Homo-oligomer: A and B are copies of this chain.
Amino acid sequence: MRKPTLEEVAAAAGVSKMTASRALRGAADVSRESVLKVSRAAEQLGYVGNRLALALSSQRTNLVSVVVPSMSNIVFAEVLAGISAGLEGSGMQAVFGITDYDPLKEHVVIRDMLSWQPAAIIVTGLEHGEETRRLLEQAKIPVIEIMDTDGYPIEFNIGLSHGVAGEEMAHALLGAGRRKFGYVGSALDKDLRAAKRKLGFEKVLKAAGLSFIAQSIAPEFSSAALGKRLTLEMLATAPEPDCIYYSNDDMAAGGLFACMQKGVAVPDQVLIAGFNGLELTAALPVKIATSCSPRRHMGEMAARIACRALTDERATLTRRIVFTPEITLGDHAMPDKQA
């Protein structure tokens, strides 16, 4: 026995397919009686509508495709949670795809997503292969690029400038009196946004006649364990920096643990700065410096734009929203008061 179809529900209720369809969708022009008969029949048969047929027939889906580079990074999970929450109540459904930071995989994933005829698509970052970009342009649905604003968006763009984030952090740290900067990062060839932050940071250092006196960069993905390892390495070899800029908070937290273990005073001896403003940083024994990225909020906003682009005039919506990450020096603000 197959799964019951609308036709079978209709038959059981003694009405036509159309009446059943209308009744189940809560259409206005259906008699109370029909609604009752139909919903009872549906209930009784355990009827679950077939969205494939619905979508094909009505030529529209409630799908919002979301493409992110990774899932093992809490940051993207939070963005997804934001999108999911932002879609709540709209009747839209998020569908997620993961690229593993691989442009080729991104192409395949986006193609696969588009084949489901989503109503809108949200992708991470502004860098896509040429063909991938064409795919998105030709899809004729709202395209929302999130997280980054340093580049040329296809249509809608919500994020922050990582170049500027790096610059501002450099300014703040210089303002806090630091001069001997180290850099600890990972997978910069894949994490383009981390690379942009580093570039912005270096730009400001250069303008101040400075540059990183030590760098430790690994090809693996970021993690507290990696940040700890690289920091231990850096601390073991002269010259010792008075401030280390990390590719993100995971790495920075590891750096903090490394310092604690080596008896290096934080922030007196070494100031530690990350990026994201992870929830974890609020709990650390020493509050490190960080720029808070509104990642959940970005997700919610992207979701909202996706919905609005389908109802309101898509052309009148703001096409670019740039967040300014708030910098906090945490406990590090105290030793050398600034401003």
A28 close to B (CB within 8 Å):
no
User: At the interface, is chain A mostly helix, strand, loop or mixed?
Assistant: helix
Q: How far is the CB of A134 from chain B (nearest CB, A)?
A: 7
Q: For A296, list chain B residues within 8 Å (CB).
A: 72
Given the interface pairs A135-B48, A224-B279, the reply to whether A71 lies near B61 with Cβ below 8 Å is: no
Partner of A50, one of B48, B117, B283: B117
Mark interface residues in A220-236 (1 if CB within 8 Å of B CB, else 0). 00011101100000000
Mark interface residues in A123-146 (1 if CB within 8 Å of B CB, else 0). 000000000001100111000000
A53 close to B (CB within 8 Å):
yes
A260 close to B (CB within 8 Å):
yes
- Report Cα–Cα, A83/B45, bound state, in Å: 32
Q: For A134, list chain B residues within 8 Å (CB).
A: 46
Q: For A116, list chain B residues within 8 Å (CB).
A: 51-52
Q: For A53, list chain B residues within 8 Å (CB).
A: 56
| Residue in chain B with minimal CB distance to A98 | B84
A112 close to B (CB within 8 Å):
yes
Q: For A280, list chain B residues within 8 Å (CB).
A: 224, 253, 280
- Report Cα–Cα, A77/B223, bound state, in Å: 15
Q: How far is the CB of A81 from chain B (nearest CB, A)?
A: 4
- Report Cα–Cα, A115/B312, bound state, in Å: 28
* Copies of this chain in the oligomer: 2
Q: For A94, list chain B residues within 8 Å (CB).
A: 96
Partner of A84, one of B71, B84, B114, B254: B71
Q: How far is the CB of A185 from chain B (nearest CB, A)?
A: 16
- Report Cα–Cα, A74/B280, bound state, in Å: 12
Q: Count residues of chain A with CB under 8 A from any CB of chain B.
A: 55
Given the interface pairs A3-B140, A51-B116, A115-B51, the reply to whether A225 lies near B80 with Cβ below 8 Å is: no
Q: For A117, list chain B residues within 8 Å (CB).
A: 50-52
Q: How far is the CB of A267 from chain B (nearest CB, A)?
A: 16
A284 close to B (CB within 8 Å):
yes
Given contacts A49-B115, A81-B98, A94-B96, could you give 9 more A-B pairs where the C-beta distance is less than 8 Å? A50-B56, A52-B56, A52-B116, A71-B77, A72-B78, A93-B112, A227-B283, A257-B284, A261-B285
Complex A-B, nearest 9 residue pairs according to Cβ-Cβ distance, in ascending order? A224-B283, A77-B77, A71-B81, A51-B115, A225-B283, A260-B285, A52-B56, A228-B283, A254-B283
Chain A contact residues, CB within 8 Å of chain B: 3, 46, 48-53, 55-56, 61, 70-74, 76-78, 80-81, 84, 93-96, 98, 111-112, 114-117, 134-135, 138-140, 223-225, 227-228, 253-254, 257, 260-261, 279-280, 282-285, 296
* A–B complex contacts, Cβ < 8 Å, 9 sampled: A46-B138, A72-B74, A74-B77, A81-B98, A84-B98, A94-B96, A253-B280, A253-B283, A280-B280
